[in-house]
Each structure stands twice: as structure tokens, then as C-alpha cells.
Amino acid sequence: MIARVVFLFVVSATLLSGCSSQSGSDTAHQVVLTGSSTVAPLMNEIGKRFEESHPGVRIDVQSGGSSRGIADARRGLADIGMVSRDLRSDENDLTAITIARDGIGLIVHSENPVQSLTNEQIVQIFTGQIENWSQVGGNDAPITVVNKAEGRSTLELFLKHFELNSKDIQADVVIGDNEQCVKTVAGNVNAIGYVSIGTAEFDANAGVPIRLLPLGGIIASIENVQNGTFPLSRPLNLVFTKQETNFPKGIVGELIEFALSPEMHEIIQEQYYVPVKP
Amino acid sequence: MFPSNRDAFLSWTIYGCGVFSAAIVVLILGFLIKESAPTLYHLDILRFFTDPSWHPSSSPPEYNLLPLIVATLLTTLGAIVIAAPLGIGSAIFSHFYASRVVGRAYGKVIELLAGIPSVVYGLWGLTVLVPLVSQWQPPGASLFTAIVILSIMILPTIALFAGAAFESLPKEHLQAAEALGLSRSRIVISVVLPASRTGLFTAIILGTGRAVGETMAVLMVAGNVVQTPYSLFQPVRTITANIALEMAYAMGDHRGALFVCGLLLMGIVIVLVSVAEWVSRGRVYG
């Protein structure tokens, strides 16, 4: 009986110790990146190229949102955090390097006759003051407002740009990521939502029945995000704790410089993001 | 190895398996309590029921869980109301009406249905069912679509367990009924269903458990607007969908509140399991 009790203790001790171990990178040959689901696919591709030219190095990319990127970089759970917005004033313990830009565009179904909306109309649609497309020159049909779940950086940027509070938004559908928004709008002629312009252009070119609306008279295109004229755009940042040098030492710094190199522009464009001009 | 040694080895192994499984449950429960404790401690627990709504990242944050609880109960109840008669009916069909070959093939099809991953149902719901419903009752993603998807998903669970219940009926019951010259429908209604009701209850409870815990498929078709619905065609957000949508981005009390959601789900499951246990005890020994 005593032996069994001892055995029990050993088993539970093993289980408990498993819980408290750190999951950060222990070896010098692994770089862990966590954060924005917008930046993650891009860093995944860049990481693959980096692994090819640096044998023995492993790049581990996990998505989970910009907030996670900030938190993990601070706590040391990740070597680099991926954040798809400007750093806030209370985040100046971190350094951010912009590797590309992304724009957020409003999308409607391609059969929707409405060609453009003013900022005021957009605000009224998302706050429920305009509930029918006929009020903005479209069909006589109720508007389905597609919003993002709380915490997403796309939502934050959208709210900030239109000076809205998340409580004010009267949504009909709440979704998680960009692709789910595209699918929801593609499946509903009367829906309106907002996604990364990169995602929208990619899907529209692939034949998905969605259309990007211009904003303030400026066409929502990758080109206009790059030249900075499109009003609703955001930087894609790699963040890390402040160092004495510009970049972190060792393999982590090498990866960041690699991501900024002109050779990566092609990959950034393949992902429908916009490279930063050197 | 002496028989007694082998005996000891086996009993150790079995003992280990038992401890391990039990430890997992205890650890999960402990983890949920540990993560939600700070939030439960410094937020008034009543706020989870009396706040105006669920806006955990606005200022001041609001943490009302009632609309989520109502949505979870309504989707589950709706799915059970549809899937229980369908599932039990299809099990009756394959066991008592279909020919041997058809019944066996039918059973395999149901098993296949049970094995389809939930995200596949969700994708189908998002790209086919929601657009269909939206032409009829916009915006489409709603309590109704969630109930439809959930019913399809738990139907095989209920059918399989109901089938197992019929399988375990003593042969003598059926033989006696047939010897009396009872019609097939009379046998099913008066002999099979009453004799296997414990098994049928268990089947429904297991289906309920799956419906409560289902996340991905519901997340994709329910619309996920936090509100207490007053119509079948309004979007709702279930507790599981709430966790899945927001966990990756949640910080501080928002994160804690999501763990409270997890604790709540765990509580619901514990109640379900206890009910199932109580029902089977009551019937077997009562």
C-alpha cells in the first residue's frame, strides 16, 4: 500500500512538473515567433527561405494575434513578436521593425450595385442607423454587417479609423479571421465586411465573388497601400525587447535583417502585402 | 517471470492507467480554477449575470455571460429535439425493419457519419447552408443554422448508442413477443422501447454532451453576435464559440473571464454526466 502511495506521488509530481516548464526557445538554433495571424503566414515563408540558407536553424512560427505577440516577446516566450499595428505608448519597452504594410478594405458581394460609400455612410451602416441598401443607392434589401471578434487587430484599426467604440457596432455576424469574413460576404449578396486588402485582392483574383470598395475616393489596392495614400492601412511589425544594438544579437537579428532584404520583396508581394521601400 | 510477479506488474500498470486518467481530469479542473480565480476574486461574481452585455475589451469592460449560456442551452435543446427522434428512429429502422444486409450497411453509413470531423460540417454550413438560409431569412448565420448543423452532427452519436441499447436487449423478450404474434410496430412500441429506455437516455445524454461541447462547426454558422435571441433566425454566440473566437487575443481579465466560461462548461458537463449516472442507476437497481 505504501509503495502505491509513493507511486502516486511520483506520477502526479511528473505531471505537475510538466505543467510549469517553459516553452520558449532553449537552443540557439531555434527562433520562435508568435503573434498576428496577418504576419504569421508571411514569416512562415520567410522562415523557410532562412532555414534553407542557414542549415540547422529552425524557425517556429505560431499565430495568435498581435496581443499575444506583444505578451510573448515581453515574457520571453518568443524571440520575436509579430504585431500588425503601431506600438502603443505603453509598449515602448519593445522595438518594432516594419517589414511590410497591409491595408484594410471594405468588401461587398460582387453583385452588389453599390460602388462606393462615404465614411459617414460606413459609420451609419456599422452602427445600425442605415439598415437597408436602398438608403445608400443599392437594392431594397437588409444589410448584413459582418464584424470581427474582440481583440483582433483588424477590428482595432477599423474602430480607430472610424472613431467608433466596439459597443456601438450593431453586427449581424461576428467572425474570427479574414478568410471567414470573405466566405461570409461571398455567400451573402447583402453583406458588408472588412478584411486585409491583400486577402481580398487574392480572393477576388481567384474568382471569389467579392469586391473592394474605395475609401475617401481612393481605390483600395495594394499599390495605394504601398504609396501610403490609402487611409486605412497598417504596418506589419516584428517586435523584440529593446537591445543596445539596433537588432538583437545572433541568429534572431540575422533573421530580421533577412526579412528586410530586397530578396524577400517577392515573397511579401506573393502574400499580397506591400514591401517597405528601403 | 513468476505468475505472481506478472500479476503484480499487470496490477501496477492498470493502477497507473487509472491514476493517469483521473489525474488529467483533476489537473484540467485545477488549471481552470487557477486561471479564473484572479478574475473571480476581484470582479463581483454577479457581474457575470448583471452586466449590460459582453464587451470584455472596451472600457469599462462588461462581462455578462447570460446570453452565451442561453444560446448554448437553446442550440443544444433544439439539436436534441430534432436529432433524438431521428437518431432513435433510424436505429429502430436498421435493427427491426431493414433486412440484415441493408441494416448492416446502414449501420456502417451511420458510423461513417459519426467519424466526419466537425470542421467539415462547419465548412459545409458556412458555404452552403448559411447562403441558402440567408436568401430566405437574412443574415442566414443564426440560431436556426446552428441547430441544423448540430442535429446532423449528434444524430449518428444518438443512433449508434440507441442501436447498442437495442443490441443488448435479451433475445427472449423479442422471441416471446413474436411468439405472441404481435405486429412489428407493436413489438417496437411496447417491448423494445420500454425495455431499452435506460440505454436511450444514455444515448441522448451523450448526444447532449457532444452538442454542448461542439465548437468549430457552431462558430462557423451561428453568427456569433452576443445577444439573447427572440427569434430562431437571429445570430447567437455559444460559450464554446466565445472561447474559441477570443482566447487567442485575450489579456488580463478578458482572459480570466474566458476561463470562467471554461469552468462553466465543465460544470454543465459534470451535471450531464451525473444525470446520466443517476438515470442508469435508477433504472438498473430501482
B169-223 pLDDT tens trace: 888 888 898 899 888 889 998 889 988 888 898 899 889 988 998 888 899 899 8
Distance CA A57, CA A28 (A): 8
Report pLDDT for A228. Answer: 76
> Chain B contacts of A12, Cβ < 8 Å?
19, 23
- Residue B207 burial (10 A CB sphere; 0-12, 13-18, 19+): buried
Q: Of B58, B225, B254, which is closest to A171 when you measure between CB atoms?
A: B225
Work out the minimum CA distance from A23 to partner chain B, whole angstroms.
17
Report pLDDT for A274. Answer: 80
Distance CA B184, CA B117 (A): 36
Report pLDDT for A4. Answer: 53
Report pLDDT for A23. Answer: 39
Answer whether A172 sits within 8 Å of B139, measured CB to CB: yes
Choose the weakest-confidence range: A21-30, A57-66, A167-176, B139-148: A21-30
Give the residue from chain B lying closest to A65, CA to CA: B249
Question: What amino acid occupies position A122?
Answer: I
pLDDT tens-digit readout, B131-143: 898 888 777 889 9
Radius of gyration of chain A (CA): 22
Q: What pTM was estimated for this model as a whole?
A: 0.76
Tell me the H-state helices in A38-177: 40-53, 66-75, 119-126, 153-161
Average pLDDT over all residues of chain B: 88
pLDDT tens-digit readout, A119-149: 999 999 999 999 999 999 888 989 999 999 8
On whether the CB atoms of residues B257 and B39 are closer than 8 A, the answer is yes
pLDDT tens-digit readout, A196-236: 888 888 888 899 999 999 998 899 888 888 777 888 888 89
Q: If residue A236 lies in a helix (H) or strand (E), which one and from where to where?
A: strand A233-241
Distance CA B273, CA B121 (A): 26
- Residue B45 burial (10 A CB sphere; 0-12, 13-18, 19+): exposed
The torsion region of residue A255 among left (phi > 0), alpha (psi -120 to 50) and beta comes to alpha
First to last CA, chain A: 71
Distance CA A143, CA A191 (A): 6
Would you call B140 an interface residue with chain A, using a CB distance cutoff of 8 Å?
A: yes
Task: Count other C-beta atoms under 10 Å from residue A12's C-beta.
Answer: 16
Report pLDDT for A36. Answer: 85
